[in-house]
Amino acid sequence: MNTSNIGLIGYGEVGRIFSAGLRPKPGVRSVLAWDIKFKAGVPPEQGGVQPQPSMQALCAGSDLVISAVTASNTLAVAQEAALHIRAGAIFLDLNSASPGTKQQCAALIDAAGAHYVEAGVMTSVPPYGIKVPMLLGGARAAELAQLLVSWDMDAKAVSDQLGVASAIKMCRSVMIKGLEALVIESYTTARQYGVEDHVLPTLAETFPSIDWQKQGAYFFSRVVQHGKRRAEEMREAANTVKEAGFDPFMAAAIADKQQFVADSAADGLFKEIPKDARWQDYADRLIADRKR
C-alpha cells in the first residue's frame, strides 16, 4: 500500500491536526491540503503542509486521500473526489455519516478505481490528536489499519463490510450527543426553577462516578463551541436510525437541541464567556435570552 503522498480534504480543526501529525511519519514524502475556504486565496505552506489550489490538484498528488469535513458535506466531497482521484489510491473517510451515506461514497470512489475505507472516529480528536481511537471498515480496512498502527495511531479494522464502523459510531453518538442535549435542557430548566442544588446531588447518588458539575460545564462548552457540527452529525445519526427501519424520535430531537445552542452561539449569546466557565454561566445566558 503506497501512502507516501497524503492529501487532506478539509483544513479545519481535524484536518490541521491530522496533517501536522502525519507529516513527520516514516515514509511520508508530502502532505497536501485542500479546503473550500482556499477559493478565497491559497494560504502559504505551514509546517511542511502544502495547501493546494483545488480538489483536482490535491487528488492528482495524493496516494492516500483523507476526507475530514462536516457531516453534511460527506457525500459532496466523495462525489467531487471521485472525478479526480488516482486509480489505486486509498480514500479514508473520517466523517460522521450514516452507513447508507458511507456506502454511497464508497460506490463513487470504487467506481473511479480507488479504494474506499470508512472510519468511525470514536471521540473528539482533541486532545488525542492523530492517536484518536478509530474503527475502520471496508475491503482495505485491515491493511490500512496495520499501516496506521505502525504510525502509532489507534486504528482497528472492525469489518471488511462497509457500514459497520459508521453504525458503531452513529449509535454511540446518539448516546453521547444525547447526554449533552439532556444535560443542557435539564440543568437550564433546573436553574430557572432554582432547584439545581437539589437535582445534581440526586444524579450523583445514581451515578456516583460522574462529577456532574464538571461534566455539565464540559458539555455546555463543547456544544457552544461545536454545536453546528454536532447537529449535522446527529442528522446523520437520525438517518442511521431510519436506515435501520425505526423512527428517529430521539436523534432528531438531539439534533434540534444542538442546533438551537449553535444558533444561540452564532448570535453572540455566549460572547466573552471564558473556556473554564461554570455550566451556570451558560445557563444564565439562555435564561436571560428567554426573558428578553
Pairwise CA distance, residues 17 & 191, whole Å: 37
Query: What are the pLDDT digits (tens) for 175-194?
Result: 999 999 999 999 999 999 99
Q: How much of the chain, in percent, has pLDDT values that exceed 70?
A: 99
What order do you get walking across the sheet with 5-9 strand by strand?
A: 49-51, 30-34, 5-9, 64-67, 90-93, 115-121, 134-137, 155-159
Q: How much of the chain, in percent, has pLDDT values that exceed 90?
A: 97
- Say whether pTM exceeds 0.85: yes
Q: How far, CA to CA in Å, does 57 sit from each of 34, 73, 251?
A: 9, 19, 38
Confidence at 292, pLDDT banded by 50, 70, 90: low
Which three three-digit cell numbers place residue 284? 444564565
Pairwise CA distance, residues 248 & 262, whole Å: 21
Contact residues for 110 (Cβ-Cβ < 8 A; gap 6+) = 116
Which three three-digit cell numbers place residue 90? 486509498
| pLDDT exceeds cutoff 90 at 2 | no
Mean pLDDT score of the chain: 97
Query: What are the pLDDT digits (tens) for 244-281?
Result: 999 999 999 999 999 999 999 999 999 999 989 999 99
For residues 30-49, average pLDDT: 94
Domains in the chain, ordered, with CATH? Answer: 5-161 (3.40.50.720), 166-291 (1.10.1040.10)
